[in-house]
Structure 1
Amino acid sequence: MLTWKLPRILNVHQVPKVFHEDSIICGYRSPSSSATACVLSLFQMTNETLNIWTHLIPTWYFLWRILALLSSPGSLHDPFLWPLLVYLMSCCIYPLMSTCAHTFSVMSTQARHICFFLDYGALSLYSLGSAIAYSAYVFPDRWVNSTFHLWFVSWAVCNTVISTALSCYSRLGIPVLHYNQHQIERFPEQNGPRLSKVLRITAFAYPYLFDSIPLFYRLFFCSGNDCAHNATLTMHIWHSIFAFLTGFLFATHLPERLAPGRFDYVGHSHQLFHVFGIMGTYFQMEALIMDMNQREKWLLDHSFMPSLSGTLGAWCSAMLISLLLIAAFSWAMYWKPKEPEKRKTF
């Protein structure tokens, strides 16, 4: 009879510092786990188990939503639906990459960094998918076809590249050889965790705030008949609330910071961060679909038709650049600059 032995659970003093989580004491997996052990850990309670399942299950939900859209007649041939398709692809990819990152990040130190590089890249692509959908469906009437609207997606592509680069840099930095000590400084996250955290928060917050400019204007500042006020505003507000809570939890590490060790397995900030993030994405998706349906006639008459290059083309270009950046940062972990030759003295 075939039996599986579940991996041993460790405490914070038994794993290297790079694997430590703020105010989490117990529930760590071995930092040299095999791929099989990583998969088996999904079925035992660790401090990562709920992090994994809170994104694995929603991945299937978003995949079902995109398959339902693709199964509708003519969806692939209707340019008006292309921004929604790109957005839904982003919604499938980012929780899937997060699931893989949290599952396999304990195979080694290098694997941990590469896994989260991919996770950060997926989050950046999700931000771009949101921008593409916002450009097509969310802009207030008075901003449609403005210069800002015409350049919105192009700017969002640049933000995606910046976000991926900055978030990866916050984790690894650039290897620097200290000639006087013959050492290579590799992981600034360990040497300067606060700076690393600030850089990472900036990398995630900046694209979200940029994407939300037309939405925030429509919600809080626009008045009159050309503001696209409709029933979707309530859904947009719920999305904004969950987005704020997501960022707040990521930045503060509450509630575990108030009681270290009490929330190691259930209820710590990263689990809540995942739940609120997915809820925010759900409300965002529903609001986008409602805006698309309710504003379709007006947008088709007054706005430019989405193009393949401005939707899937922009998204794929940003994905390619992000992958190249991730490959460069991953390679940097293994790069060892040559030490300078000592000058001969006679």
Structure 2
Amino acid sequence: MATVVMEQIGRLFINAQQLRQIPQLLESAFPTLPCTVKASDVPWVFREPHILTGYRQPDQSWRYYFLTLFQRHNEALNVWTHLLAALIILVKWQEISETVDFLREPHAQPLFIVLLAAFTYLSCSALAHLLSAKSELSHYTFYFLDYVGVAVYQYGSALAHFYYAIEGDWHTRVQGFFLPAAAFFAWLSCLGCCYGKYASPGLPKFAHKLFQVVPSGLAYCLDISPVVHRIYSCYQQGCSDPAVAYHRYQVLFFLISAYFFSYPHPECWFPGKCDFFGQGHQIFHVFLVLCTLVQVEALRIDFTERRPLYEQLHGDLAHDAIALFIFTACCSALTAFYVRKRVRTALHEKEE
């Protein structure tokens, strides 16, 4: 009996010794990261108005920037909001795929595209905020990737709205130009954002914003028009369509997010107080995520409940729409690649 007890005590002692090693193992796996620095300690391209501290040091290893996912810095919340939202989209995708055959059902393909587009823009945004601090070229590269993701999402949203949310009379008015125009405005948005970023050293801050906001605003006005018309028609008829309620929230959340994207509130009122939490861009991220999630739910309901209407309106349009989606993504990616090449040349000339 005594021998058994001593064996048990010995095992407990060994387990206790192993438990003491856990902090050391964690420390070796996640080494102490360099402290964040002030705005004055990083190149101007990394600085944000009214954000005074919490910047990550440039010219570190890639491993460092990936590990900053678990560090407190002024981009951490921007990374996590879109990273978690991307994971939620994957879960929604899996749930919908249990009842919808995306490969064999042509009318489900626009729903597949908007889910893919949402996941793409959220993932690209998370990568941009996580990895752009490595160098000036990395900063431009990852934000150009972010702009490609935004263009892809703009066209994906336009396609899904046109396919599932549109009413018959609005379809008659816009069917001849809607999708080509949506593709053009999506590409124009990518071009405007990339050029505004590239030319920002010689532009006032408001001009830089104009290159981003105006093309994106034009794209949104077209892309959301089937939804706005649907909401107005429902209001006139006094309908109680559950999808329309989600569409209303989609518009509301987007307008709130657009406001916080365009204006640096509240950090302009409290410089240095919103460096880690409460920045306007963080609020923009939160409301844009809410917009995306309610949009996906609204389109899921429309896909289920409005099948007779969209089958009658669109026929075999889905195949052409997919081709236009791929074309838009390729044009946006080539545009971003070209502007990145210009940035790289400019940076090399500056170093010389």
- Could you state the TM-score of these two structures normalised by the residue count of structure 1? 0.87
Bigger mean CA offset, 192-201 vs 66-75: 66-75
Query: What runs of 5+ residues in structure 1 fail to find an aligned partner?
Result: 174-187, 340-346
| Matched residue, 1:343 | none
Q: 1:180 corresponds to which residue? A: none
Change (3 A) 1:199 1:262: same
Q: 2:213 aligns with which of 195, 201, 207?
A: 201
Q: Which residue of 1 aligns with 2:227?
A: 215
Please give the secondary structure, in 1, of the residue aligned with 2:314: coil
Change (3 A) 1:155 1:228: farther
**CA apart distance, 1:190:** 5.5
Q: Distance in 2 between matches of 1:35 and 1:47?
A: 18
One of 316, 330, 334 as aligned partner of 2:340: 330
In the alignment, what sits opposite 2:76? 49
Report the equivalent of 1:5: 32
3-state DSSP of counterpart to 2:134 = coil
The answer to whether the 8 A contact 2:106-2:319 is kept is: no
Could you tell me whether the CA contact under 8 Å between 2:51 and 2:274 is conserved in 1? yes
User: CA deviation digits over 1:144-171, x for unaligned, max 9?
Assistant: 3x25124211111111111111110110
Aligned counterpart, 1:283: 294
Code of the aligned partner of 1:248 = Y
Aligned length: 321
Does structure 1 conserve the Cα–Cα contact (< 8 Å) formed by 2:106 and 2:316? yes
Identical pairs, percent:
26
Other structure's SS at 1:232 match: helix
Give structure 2 stretches of 5+ with no counterpart.
Answer: 1-24
Say whether residues 1:104 and 2:131 are aligned partners: yes
1:303 alignment counterpart: 313
Larger Rg belongs to: 2
CA distance in 2, matches of 1:286, 1:189: 41
Deviation at 1:21?
A: 0.7
* Pairing 1:35–2:45 present: no
Structure 2 contact 100–108 (Cα < 8 Å) conserved: no
Residues 154-196 of structure 1: CA distance to partner in whole angstroms, max 9, x if unpaired?
Answer: 11111111111111011003xxxxxxxxxxxxxx346422200
Which range is displaced more, 303-312 or 99-108? Answer: 303-312
The counterpart of 2:53, out of the listed 23, 26, 48, is: 26
Q: Which residue of 2 aligns with 1:249?
A: 260
Aligned to 2:17: none
When normalised by structure 2's length, the TM-score is: 0.86
CA contact (8 A) 2:82 2:125 kept: yes
